[in-house]
């Protein structure tokens, strides 16, 4: 009798495995059947409750609005999840590759979006769902970031952006005998050659480096180009694009002139540098202000903000996408169109300070009168709104990060190991050709 029950138990175990295998199969085949039923399904939402899974990262300010949408739309429930930035994106990569566990709405940062663009099949084209009607509300360059090369496919609707300005230490500038008012500083440093010259003066007079690292300056300069590593047919331009080589040469020249602090972004040394004035300038996108305030509170009152040399640029910013595996793309689209509308971005901006991607808000008094004590009362709203409008659209391509990593490694080797700039450039080109095969 005892033996019989044991056999029964092991059989049940076996069946449970078999069942588990079946149920996952069922899940993956279902979505592919769904689109064919889409047309009759349009009237279904009115009487049926639709559940949408929304996977987001923390501190976007969207969570409050989710509840509001649910109460206004009783036929939709939203299963809202927050996962840390890196875990969220890594999870999304594996979910998309494996074809299971994919949310209906996924937050995607610009760096990852470029990679995901390699596979349009993974996402729903928002232009098919009527996004053409709302793209006019957003900044042109931001929409372009979200489109495929020929502009026929829209991957996501924009959330926040990262327009850039130059934060600088007034105490160091003063010690170097330089002007400290934002307008004067903007006039003093209008291009990267002047940046280098000012950097040399600062280093000479105060012994302080001008900026954190060559890699940051390189990223900033490259961000001001209209074409970077790939053209719109995804042909590699690394060797032929004079702008990239020029940026590389300028960055390595700054490194060789000794005006960089040789500290990597996000390192303890970097945080300490922001706090105690380890370097005189920092290329700061709008979201950097919150980072500086929280990790470097002692820097308060010593920093000010001026426009960046040459033009603005963009660092970061994100999108909400609807993966192709979603069973309810229309409901999901209706939700994100509402969530990221001008009015709601205005609410989010007032709540969190996340910089909106809808230029319609830039004239609002909250933006125009936005000043910050950390930056000596600088009109940060005006500065970043002006910067946001100056950003030029640029095509990156799915392999942008791979190439960028190789070039920045080269700069880092020149910076930290006294490597030869030209030899490192050649090595980077060779490396890129290997990594892209």
Q: Where do contacts with another protein occur on this chain (CB under 8 A)? A: 3, 6-7, 10-11, 13-14, 17, 90, 93, 96-97, 115-116, 118-119, 122, 262, 267-269, 272, 398, 401-402, 405, 408-409, 412-413, 416-417, 419, 431, 434-435, 437
Q: State the minimum distance, in angstroms, from the CB of residue 223 to another protein.
A: 18
Q: State the minimum distance, in angstroms, from the CB of residue 17 to another protein.
A: 6
- Which residues are CB-neighbours of 35 under 8 A, at least 6 positions away? none
Q: Which residues pair with 68 in a beta bridge?
A: none
Q: If you ran DSSP here, which 8-state letter would residue 200 be given?
A: H
Residue 164 near residue 284, CB atoms below 8 Å: yes
Judged by beta carbon, residue 39 or residue 233, the one nearer another protein is 233
Q: State the minimum distance, in angstroms, from the CB of residue 151 to another protein.
A: 19
Judged by beta carbon, residue 24 or residue 77, the one nearer another protein is 24
Judged by beta carbon, residue 7 or residue 64, the one nearer another protein is 7
Alpha helices in 280-355 (DSSP H): 288-295, 329-339, 342-352
Judged by beta carbon, residue 11 or residue 44, the one nearer another protein is 11
C-alpha span between 301 and 384 (Å, rounded): 19
- Listed residue (114, 94, 87) closest to 401, CA to CA: 114
Q: State the minimum distance, in angstroms, from the CB of residue 58 to another protein.
A: 21
Judging by DSSP bridges, how do beta strands 105-109 and 314-321 pair with one another? antiparallel
Q: Token pair for residue 341?
A: 């509308």
Q: State the minimum distance, in angstroms, from the CB of residue 70 to another protein.
A: 33
- DSSP H or E segment with residue 204: helix 192-206
Judged by beta carbon, residue 306 or residue 428, the one nearer another protein is 428
Q: State the minimum distance, in angstroms, from the CB of residue 116 to another protein.
A: 6
Judged by beta carbon, residue 40 or residue 266, the one nearer another protein is 266
- DSSP H or E segment with residue 163: strand 156-169
Distances (CA, A) of 263 to 205, 212, 266, 278, 399: 21, 6, 9, 10, 26
Q: State the minimum distance, in angstroms, from the CB of residue 176 to another protein.
A: 22
Judging by DSSP bridges, how do beta strands 156-169 and 105-109 pair with one another? unpaired
Q: Token pair for residue 277?
A: 């004035």
Residue 266 near residue 294, CB atoms below 8 Å: no
Q: State the minimum distance, in angstroms, from the CB of residue 398 to another protein.
A: 6
Judged by beta carbon, residue 370 or residue 396, the one nearer another protein is 396
Judging by DSSP bridges, how do beta strands 281-285 and 314-321 pair with one another? unpaired
Residue 118 near residue 134, CB atoms below 8 Å: no
Judged by beta carbon, residue 17 or residue 26, the one nearer another protein is 17
C-alpha span between 402 and 76 (Å, rounded): 40
Judged by beta carbon, residue 23 or residue 39, the one nearer another protein is 23
Q: State the minimum distance, in angstroms, from the CB of residue 269 to another protein.
A: 5
């Amino acid at each position: 009798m005892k033996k019989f029950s044991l056999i029964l138990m092991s059989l049940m175990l076996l069946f449970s495995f078999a069942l588990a295998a079946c149920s996952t199969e069922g899940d993956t085949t279902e979505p592919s059947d769904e689109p064919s039923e889409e047309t009759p399904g349009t009237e279904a939402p009115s009487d049926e409750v639709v559940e949408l899974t929304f996977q987001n990262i923390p501190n976007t300010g969207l969570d409050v609005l989710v509840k509001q949408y649910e109460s206004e739309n009783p036929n939709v429930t939203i299963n809202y999840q927050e996962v840390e930035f890196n875990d969220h994106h890594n999870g999304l990569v594996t979910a998309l590759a494996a074809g299971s566990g994919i949310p209906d709405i996924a937050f995607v940062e610009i760096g990852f979006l470029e990679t995901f663009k390699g596979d349009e099949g993974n996402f729903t084209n928002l232009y098919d769902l009527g996004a053409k009607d709302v793209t006019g509300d957003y900044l042109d360059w931001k929409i372009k970031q979200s489109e495929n090369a020929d502009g026929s496919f829209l991957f996501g609707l924009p959330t926040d952006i990262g327009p850039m300005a130059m934060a600088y230490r007034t105490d160091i500038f003063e010690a170097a005998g330089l002007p400290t008012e934002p307008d004067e500083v903007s006039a003093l440093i209008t291009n990267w050659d002047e940046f280098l010259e000012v950097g040399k003066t600062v280093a000479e007079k105060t012994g302080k480096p001008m900026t954190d690292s060559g890699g940051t300056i390189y990223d900033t300069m490259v961000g001001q180009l209209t074409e970077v590593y790939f053209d719109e047919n995804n042909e590699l331009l690394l060797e032929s694009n004079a702008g990239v080589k020029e940026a590389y040469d300028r960055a390595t020249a700054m490194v060789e002139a000794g005006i960089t602090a040789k500290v990597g972004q996000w390192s303890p040394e970097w945080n300490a540098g922001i706090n105690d004035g380890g370097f005189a300038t920092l290329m700061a996108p709008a979201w950097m202000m919150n980072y500086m305030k929280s990790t470097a509170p002692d820097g308060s009152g010593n920093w000010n903000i001026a426009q960046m040399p040459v033009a603005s640029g963009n660092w970061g910013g994100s999108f909400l996408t609807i993966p192709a595996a979603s069973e309810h793309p229309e409901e999901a689209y209706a939700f994100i169109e509402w969530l990221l509308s001008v009015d709601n971005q205005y609410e989010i901006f007032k709540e969190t300070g996340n910089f909106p991607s809808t230029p319609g808000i830039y004239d609002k008094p909250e933006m125009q009168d936005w000043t910050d004590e950390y930056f000596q009362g600088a009109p940060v709203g005006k500065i970043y709104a002006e910067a946001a409008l100056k950003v030029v659209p640029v095509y990156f391509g799915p392999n942008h990060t791979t190439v960028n990593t190789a070039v920045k490694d080269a700069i880092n080797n020149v910076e930290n190991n006294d490597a030869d700039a030209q030899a490192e450039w050649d090595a980077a080109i060779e490396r890129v050709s290997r990594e892209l095969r």
